[in-house]
Structure formats: structure tokens, C-alpha cells
Amino acid sequence: MLAAAAVDLFYRQGATATTIREITQACGLTAGALYNHFASKEELLYTVVRDSHLNLDAAVVRELDSAGDPPAKLAAIVRVYVEQHARHRKSSRVANSEYGQLTGERRAEIVEIRRRLRDRVTDVLRAGERSGHFQLPGRDEATIVARAILDMCVHISAWFHEGQPLTTADLQDRYVTLALRMAGST
């Protein structure tokens, strides 16, 4: 309940502008009730951001384990990203736009998860280049292409609304096609 109220407020007005009072009022609780669960607003933000990133990472790993060749692996990652960012728009948007508000070890942990996610895509692209499935535009372009693909998927949370005019499945198909083209799929 607290996390859901916080996500809604962080999404609408940003974490910095959101007060603990606003979060607790949105749930009908007292500030003391929030402090029974979280030591601070930053801890609440950290929990929301971390959980979103960890759920995404777990889904990517699950799909990679069942995918075959590099094009299938890239398609699986893109489908997961599109699904996450289309169906969980608010929490995804908060996770991607507000993690920079975290400090110290909390921020470092999120940056590491994000790097791990990017590296999974980079590894798939490099494997596809070695196998002849992908033809990247230049020497060691895998990281740049990985960033472009992930950025493309992450920003879905800023504009997508189911069924207007696309469904999530339609968007997944289109983004997989775009990602494969970006990778120079043969």
C-alpha cells in the first residue's frame, strides 16, 4: 500500500517533490506508520527502484535460459523490456527516472543491476556477431547498440497506453523487429 502510493506520487511529481506526509495521506496512514516499514523516504524510493530492477533482471534471465540462438535471445530480452515498461508504466518510469536520487551504496547497487542488464544484451549481440547472425556497424559496437535498444524500450513507459492504437503484443513485435535491424540481423 505504501509502495503503491509512493509510486503514484513519485510518478506524478518526482521523488524530490513528494513528501512523506503526501505518501501517508494517500494511504490514510500516519507518518509513524511509514516509519514502521521504512526508515526514510529514500529507503522507500530505493525499495521501489530496486524491486523494479530486480524483477526485470529476473524476467530477462528466465527468458534467456529458454531462448535459443542470439536472435531469439535478443528478441526475448526486448519482449521482456517492452512488457515490463508497457504494463508497469508508473513503477518502470519511477525506477528509470528517479534512481539518480539515491545515494551511496543504494545508488551503486542500482547502477550495478542496470550495468548487468546492459551487459546481458551486449553479450547476446557479441555472440550473434561471432555466429554470423548479426553484423554490427563497427568494431565493438555491441555496447552502443545495446544501450540504444534498451533506451528505446525503457522510454515506452513515458508514452504507451494499451490499445491506443497498439497492444503490448503489437509493440513487442515491432520493437523486436527494430532491435534485430539495429543489430544487423542477417
Summarised one tens digit per residue, pLDDT across range 85-139 is 999 999 999 999 999 999 999 999 999 999 999 999 999 999 999 999 999 987 7
pLDDT of residue 39: 86
pLDDT of residue 83: 95
pLDDT digits (tens, 9 = 90+) for 19-45: 888 998 898 888 777 788 888 889 999
**pLDDT > 70: percent of the chain:** 99
| Domain boundary assignment for the chain | 40-182
The pLDDT of residue 178 is above 90: yes
The pLDDT of residue 71 is above 80: yes
101: number of Cβ within 10 Å: 17
State which fold the 40-182 domain adopts.
Tetracycline Repressor; domain 2 (1.10.357)
Q: List the grid coordinates of 90.
A: 508508473
**CA 68 to mean position of chain CA atoms:** 23
Q: Name the pLDDT band for 186 (thresholds 50, 70, 90).
A: confident
Are the C-beta atoms of residues 2 and 29 closer than 8 Å to each other?
A: yes
* Alpha-helical regions (H) of 14-131: 20-27, 31-37, 41-66, 70-87, 89-98, 104-131
DSSP string covering 158-184:
HH--TTSS--HHHHHHHHHHHHHHHTT
Q: List the grid coordinates of 74.
A: 535478443
**pLDDT > 90: percent of the chain:** 75
